[in-house]
Amino acid sequence: MSFTLFHTRKDGTVKPIKMSIFDAFRGVPDPKPRKPKPCSCCGKIHPPKHAPEVTPETTAEAAPDATAETKADPAQEGTDAKAPKGEKKDDNDKDKDKEADDQIMLRMKAENAAAQWKDILAATSYTDEGELKGRWRQIKNQLADFKKEMAGKEDGKKEEEEKAEEKDKDKDGNTSNEEKAKLAEREAKAEKNRQEGLKRQQAAKEKKEAADQAEKNKDDAPQPKTRGETGELKMWAESYDKKKWRLMASKHYDRTGQRISPEQARKMAEAK
Residue 33 has what pLDDT?
64
d(CA 106, CA 124): 11
Angle of helix 77-111 relative to helix 129-139, nearest 10 degrees?
Answer: 80
Interval 141-167: pLDDT, tens: 888 888 888 888 888 888 888 888 777
More confident residue, 228 or 22: 22
Q: Are strands 14-20 and 2-8 parallel, antiparallel or unpaired?
A: antiparallel
**If DSSP codes are grouped into helix, strand and coil, which group holds residue 201?**
helix
Per-residue pLDDT at 17 exceeds 50: yes
Q: What span, in angstroms and rounded, lies between the C-alpha atoms of 170 and 254?
A: 112
Give the whole-angstrom CA distance, residue 153 versus residue 187.
Answer: 43
Lowest mean pLDDT: which of 72-86, 104-118, 129-143, 232-246?
Answer: 72-86
Look up the pTM and report it: 0.30
CA 217 distance to own-chain centroid? 62
Nearest to 15 by CA among 4, 23, 3: 4
Average confidence (pLDDT) over 79-98: 60
What is the pLDDT, as a whole number, of residue 240? 85
In angstroms, what is the C-alpha Rg of the chain?
58
Check whether 112 has a pLDDT greater than 80. Answer: yes
The per-residue pLDDT for range 28-62, each reduced to its tens digit, is 555 566 677 777 777 677 776 655 555 555 555 54
Average pLDDT of span 11-16: 87
Give CA 254 to chain center in angstroms. 92
Cα gap 177→185, rounded to integer Å: 12
> What was the pLDDT predicted at 55?
55
Residue, of 36 and 170, whose pLDDT is higher: 36
- Asked whether 260 and 252 are in contact (CB, 8 A), the reply is yes
